[in-house]
A and B are shown apart, each in its own frame.
Chain A
């Protein structure tokens, strides 16, 4: 029962891990890391008693963490919090988490990333628009420069909640991509070459830092003046090494290095 609980969120999502820990009546801290952010969920005898993710605490933090689909998790046995912020049943938590994941899948079909920057669309099609106070709060923060994640942080909202608000605003056709309105290239569509190296690189980096990976690959290659189609092992190794240095979490950076070094040694 005391074996290490550790793995990747791309293969096991947070609600499944919560179920396992709950069924096993475990006590301790579940640490989750999506490359950019970390969060913790604390268990006592299989019940969640506290959670934290950035500025969020309690159930809000749990629901934020349950939608993460990339990154790593690790369970620390008997690591307990000083406070209790969650007092609802596991069934309620898991039901809500499942709803949130479904909702997020719908949202990401329209808004793929929280790094997107929007500006207000001056050509409103609807005559009458009714907004909730939170939607207005978000709207007043949209300036064509701040990303969804920046705005979420500014107004103390979870990223998933902010994306939900943006989804509604986008559906109301109140927003447009910042690059369309100001001619800036803050939102780019990145088409990486479809080579086996690029596929492996993109997949592994996405596992480490999330969906922003293709942008980082393109930006890094441009900075280093590298040709992404070149088959030179030296160039590829330099790109991998530089990308690994951009992964904030040391463990993930090493895992990325490990997988890609393997790739270079076998395929490269």
Chain B
């Protein structure tokens, strides 16, 4: 038998049919649903008189439009002040009712960002195919699954058939080896990867993240990395199953139990690339070369180390890149050559499907503990990824640390990652954000986003500008 990659194995195990030309029908084990990309799909089912193929494969929760403010949240769906947002969340509730799909509604403690909720519940498992009408579905690949975003037509397709028409992608390996420097996290790794290969570096590929650095990460860290595979152009990011994976899954509400657990483990232990498996593309990074990262521009590949400077257009040889740099600097209101440290900030956002899990909040809290946010920071939002993350954080007293530092402790939602609820940047405001996209207008009309890790966002909140988090960690009293 020829050596197979993890992606090859999972692809083969989900193949329903394939033509000689390679057009395949792939079976989907888990479909996650949220309010933004599903209403037109449910409407399509209704118009065609179709029913969901397998109701128990679907799990829904509202996240994008849900308010993070405690008062607005208290009134449930009816309390959402924006009537357009309210209708979208209500439509999800109505559709789930009508079709019998399980939903964690707005104020259910299990509600949260769909990519935090799935793994937390054990609803996404190793070896599954997981899809959702959201490009950050790659997150779930951290468990050793094929997971990717789909458009609304495909949401309808999965609802109606439990399958997707696909062609196999190419195999790409991103290998990171060595020990991370202090203050460097999963977020810095993935930003460094994107900086190296570019936002189209993984287009057409399923990326497997491997190497000793990745192996040493927790599942939450691996999720942060897989989450941003799409920012490197790859729909799929994945990490092989190991003991860390199995320990993470065990005991979660939807995880298998009893005899099924033993059978599942036996299968999951095969979910890694075989020695000698061939990848179409391989990229290697030395963990020791990675410093805390900060994006300076309007694409995630426009990233630099904390001790570096913002580049100038002349630093780029290709005309298209030079023009992009020029435009980005203008939008961001930055000068080429200025130090990353000198970028002044107005707001801080800690949250999103990239960085809103308990470890992210712990890492930010460790930095701000006993400190205050800088006077120029108008608002520092901390938005846990789910009701259960929020509860856990409160049990650990993290909420108090943030509040004492002058930060705002919010309700679980996508919040200012994409500003579909009322958490937004004003025009021209600079934000240190733990989210995943620094596109123009993403966090609010005219807003300027700098992507960083939770620890770096916390350090920026304290300093009022970017600094190496190590400067604060070294000074911190244990």
B and A form one assembly = no
Interface, chain A (partner B; CB < 8 A): none
Interface, chain B (partner A; CB < 8 A): none
